[in-house]
Chains A and B, each alone.
Chain A
Amino acid sequence: MIKAKRKPLEELFDLTKGFQRILCVGCGGCTSVCLAGGQRETQMLKTDLSQLFRENGKSAHISVFVIERQCSPEYISDIEDMIKDYGCVISAACGAGVQLLAERYRSKPVFPALNTMFVGLDRSTGLYQERCRTCGDCQLGYTGGICPVTCCSKSLFNGPCGGTNINGSCEVSRETPCAWNEIYERLKMQNRVENILSIHPPMDWTDKGPGTLIQSGYESRYIKK
């Protein structure tokens, strides 16, 4: 899932200090799961921001509402009636959720409460690790289930660079394992080293502006003939 963390409070204050009525909108999706933008965190954001407003000799009325999923049009209508009473919105969704709110409520300034970090996994409560760069051409099949795009600091496709440390860590950090060392070890264990013996050609990064995905079976609905 998508992982995010709250922006520095001072940055949020700077964005919103000109407003008297602020609506903090949490998200029940990914950012809630990673403890950044759910009910509890949005409430905490309200408390912290109100405090900072007071410390700066200002007052603002801040309310909290949590939308089930901010990246979905059917859910974001939930705030249609209440948003009229507010000067601006702080959204604790990922970057996609913030943009859908901003698109739906065009006349309202919508500010991001979070920095969207990565697609990652839950290692433990509050501890997440990046595992996917959403490259659009999944490589995991030949790399033993370890992503070379994400987990190799140089996103190499054909084996390790020369910088692997003797303990098998990456040249960038001794705390980070060398992805290609791990790929080799795992493939060897599975008797699949031949997977990485032939040259893997350059990627098709499909880096052509904002992507659109039409799920198979839905083409006729969205593609005009």
Chain B
Amino acid sequence: MKSGSNLERVLKAGHFAVTTEFGPPKGTDLSIVKNKAEFIRGNVDAVNVTDCQTAVVRLSSIATSAILVQMGIEPVMQMTCRDRNRIAIQSDIFGASALGIKNMLAISGDHHSFGNQKNARKVYDIDSMQMISLVKRMRDEQKMLSEDKPFQGEVPMFIGAAANPFAPPVEFRAMHLRKKIEAGADFIQTQSIYDVDKFRQWMKIVCDMGLDRQCAILAGLTPLKSAGMARYMADNVPGMQIPESLLTRMAGVPKERAAEEGIRIFCEQVEQIREIPGIAGLHIMAIEWEHRIPEITERAGLLPRPVMQGNDFFSGDPQCR
């Protein structure tokens, strides 16, 4: 075991893993965190905690993740390269480990020009590829960057990375994935998939390169809530591509039935994706729809979630390894 996290155990045991996403609140109202978390409990294997997504200031990913640990819900702490230099990144990884966080996702992060601090100075001291290498070095060699002397204590972190199979340069995306695996990624969560055929073709390339055997690939899915949301995402979300046929299908149902249609599409996609060779699980990005996670996971046939033997995570003791 690299980290002993629940997600790692589920994947190692060969189960089809399920993760979802959790957006921390703007502010310090922890009742929001706790209420949302209860919708997730037991319905997924781990939950990504976003790191000031869309570059809007929110309760930190590390603090929110630590609260989830205390609640007995396993977080995947997202960490962007946007706001931290290598000093802060390494320090925060120590902090996360000390707080019992065992999964992280290294990403570049949405550019600050999208958010509510447009005049900020960007950091990007290291990129996500370099962050993956750095965490791996911390975990496997107990060494920091530029230092040969090992540090005290361990960093048992299950390392995640993102992949977008559809964005240009499309040909390079599988090579880029291989690079992330070489850097040390244990699992991959993809950008939201709407064109399953296109994704299947990409996975064929990935499997031919043998990448599915070197890391766990979790296919990203976002249920569509309404025709408006679908159109908005297609037009505005970076790297997002939604086929016109789906936009038409969402627009074709009355407004009050749109969410239902979105969940139906989602369930169909889950079935199709489970058939694709090389897929180890699903990452559900139900944006501000945490309360629908119990229903969505149930209807998509993803419940019950496996309970792993020897899982020390739910003891609630952050020191527990």
Task: Give residues in A with beta carbon < 8 Å to B.
Answer: 153-168, 171-172, 178, 180-181, 184-185, 188, 193, 196-203, 205
Contact = CB atoms under 8 A, between A and B. Distances in A.
12 contacts: A158-B128, A159-B172, A161-B108, A162-B107, A162-B162, A164-B167, A165-B168, A166-B168, A171-B114, A197-B175, A200-B129, A201-B133
A188 to B, nearest CB: 8
Contacts of B145: 202
B111 A199 contact: no
Given A165-B239, A185-B169, A202-B145, 6 more contacts: A158-B179, A162-B162, A181-B169, A193-B172, A197-B178, A199-B129
A156 to B, nearest CB: 4
A91 B171 CA distance: 50
A162 B238 contact: yes
A165 B167 contact: yes
Main secondary structure of the interface of A (DSSP, over half): loop
A159 B179 contact: yes
Interface in B242-268: none
Nearest to B165: A162
Interface stretch (B118-126, B276-284, B293-301): B118-126
A181 B238 contact: no
Interface residues of B, number: 40
B179 to A, nearest CB: 6
B125 A202 contact: yes
Interface string B211-251: 00000000000000000000000000011010000000000
A162 B175 CA distance: 14
A215 B153 CA distance: 46
B129 A163 contact: no
A200 B132 CA distance: 12
A144 to B, nearest CB: 12
B125 A171 contact: no
B164 to A, nearest CB: 4
Contacts of B238: 162-165, 171
Contacts of A154: 81-82, 108-109, 111, 122, 124, 127
Contacts of B126: 202-203
Contact of B171 (A162, A184, A197, A203): A184
B116 interface: no
B200 interface: no
A164 B111 CA distance: 12
Contacts of A205: 125
A158 B234 CA distance: 26
Contacts of B113: 153, 172
B179 A153 contact: no
A162 B111 contact: no
Nearest 8 A/B pairs, CB to CB: A163-B238, A171-B238, A162-B164, A158-B129, A184-B169, A164-B167, A156-B127, A161-B108
Nearest to A153: B111
Given A154-B111, A202-B125, A162 B172 contact: no
B159 to A, nearest CB: 14
A69 B124 CA distance: 35
